[in-house]
Amino acid sequence: MTASYPALRLRRTRSTGWSRRLHAETVLTPADLIWPLFVCDGQGIEEPIGALPGVSRWSVDNIVARGREARDLGIPCLALFPYTQPERRTEDGREALNPDNLMCRAIRALKDAVPDIGVLTDVALDPYTSHGHDGLVDAAGYVVNDTTADMLVQQALNQAAAGADIIAPSDMMDGRIGMIRTALEADAHHNVQIMSYAAKYASAFYGPFRDAVGSRGLLKGDKKTYQMDSANAEEALREVALDLAEGADTVMVKPGMPYLDIIVRVRQAFEVPVFAYQVSGEYAMIEAAVAAGAADRDAMVLETLLAFKRAGCSGVLTYHAAHAAKLLAR
Ligand code: PBG
């Protein structure tokens, strides 16, 4: 034996499957997953979304079927996003406040049929506005903060009244978490949670989602005056601190994979549950690599989701949720 050969060998614990399992520092289970679903009008409808191969818009009856599927797969929570009919989209997004809009109908149907699964709802105006922005736009094209926030409060109250379990404001208006929490308390929705999209970046990775909710072609300009600048990390900590002080129960970092550093820093700075959104562009990237024959879907899905757990996430919103849960059940 030569003196320079190692006696300390980190490969030793990696040498068999049982040993790798024994030494795994992180686990991924179906209970870590939140499944985002797109809702559309009609009955018996499944409408494939071109930009998101393998993802569809579902009519409310089919959303309920997805809810049963999620429950059977051990997925604890769904996230709902509506595709609003073009004729219901207006400059002021007033359909967002219709207590009988597609979102509220989907929430009620789900809570009725599958009460033991969580329903997370998006609060923002973009599926309802004719300009595709998350809020009201003034004459100069600026998204106005405070009057938008007033609308978001009413939108959140409607969703809570319909049975939403987790209110998830994705709009990035200042102060809206506190306003929504106050209104929920006043309306006796004490156990309705708020998961704030606290560190949400103005990202190129949202393109396929905007196709899915039908806002891509409508969007005038970009969302950089309200969503965060990708250059910033310290500012993400300020956003998280504010949302927690205002009453958020949990916080989200979005997108996911390019922002793992933000997840780690938020977890280190605040001992609160952090969630990641593996967004539409990340899903599309994986599917494009698979379609090109460049990578193995199952391995990529499980590896990317495990990375969020390793970074410190309590859970992940992912369009691969059902597929991942099936893989994990094997
Ligand atoms: C809109 C909203 C967006 C997403 C979730 N809520 C898009 C945006 O901000 O333009 C993106 C989700 C995804 O890309 O999967 N408030």
pLDDT at 1 (0 to 100): 58
Q: What are the start-end ranges of the E strands in the chain?
A: 33-40, 46-48, 56-59, 77-82, 118-123, 166-169, 193-200, 250-254, 274-278, 315-318
pLDDT, tens only, 1-50: 567 999 999 999 999 999 999 999 999 999 999 999 999 999 999 999 99
Using 50, 70 and 90 to split pLDDT, how confident is the model at 330?
confident
Q: Which atom of ligand 1 is nearest to the CA of 215?
A: 10
Per the annotation, the verdict on 254 as an active-site residue is: yes
Residues 229-251: tens digit of each pLDDT: 999 999 999 999 999 999 999 99
Task: Give the residue carrying structure tokens 């006043």.
Answer: 186
Question: Structure pTM?
Answer: 0.97
Average pLDDT over all residues of the chain: 97
The position carrying tokens 């495990």 is: 306
Task: For residue 20, give every residue at least 6 positions away whose Cβ sits within 8 Å of its Cβ, in sequence order, or none.
Answer: 13, 14
What is the DSSP secondary-structure string of 239-286? HHHHHHHHT-SEEEEESSGGGHHHHHHHHHH--S-EEEEE-HHHHHHH
129-151 pLDDT tens trace: 999 999 999 999 999 999 999 99
- Residues in the annotated binding site for Mg(2+): 239
pLDDT of residue 193: 98
For residue 154, pLDDT over 80 is answered with: yes
Query: Per the residue annotation, which of 111, 223, 254, 309 is the catalytic one?
Result: 254
Of the chain, the percentage scoring pLDDT greater than 90 comes to 98
Which of the four pLDDT bands, split at 50, 70 and 90, describes residue 210? very high
Ligand 1 close to Cβ of residue 103 (< 6 A): no
The Cα–Cα gap between 323 and 198 comes to 27
pLDDT of residue 282: 98
Find the mean pLDDT for residues 186-213.
97
What pLDDT shows up at residue 253?
Answer: 98
User: Residue 167 above 80 pLDDT?
Assistant: yes
For residue 152, count CB atoms less than 10 angstroms from its CB and return exposed for 0-12, middle for 13-18, buried for 19 or more: buried
b/e per residue, 288-316, with b = 16+ CB within 10 A? eebeeeeeebeebbbebbbbbbebbbebb
255 upstream amide cis, omega within 30 of 0: yes
- Determine which helix (DSSP H) or strand (DSSP E) holds 146, and give its type and residue range: helix 145-162
Report whether pLDDT(264) > 70. yes
Domains of the chain as residue ranges with CATH:
28-329 (3.20.20.70)
Ligand 1 in reach of 126 Cβ (< 6 A)? yes
200 is catalytic: yes
Instruction: Please give the average per-residue pLDDT across 211-230, as a whole number.
Output: 95
What confidence score (pLDDT) does residue 70 get? 98
Say how many Å lie between the CA of residue 199 and the centre of ligand 1.
Answer: 13
CA 166/CA 160 separation, integer angstroms:
8
d(CA 46, CA 57): 6
Question: What integer is the mean pLDDT of 254-275?
Answer: 98
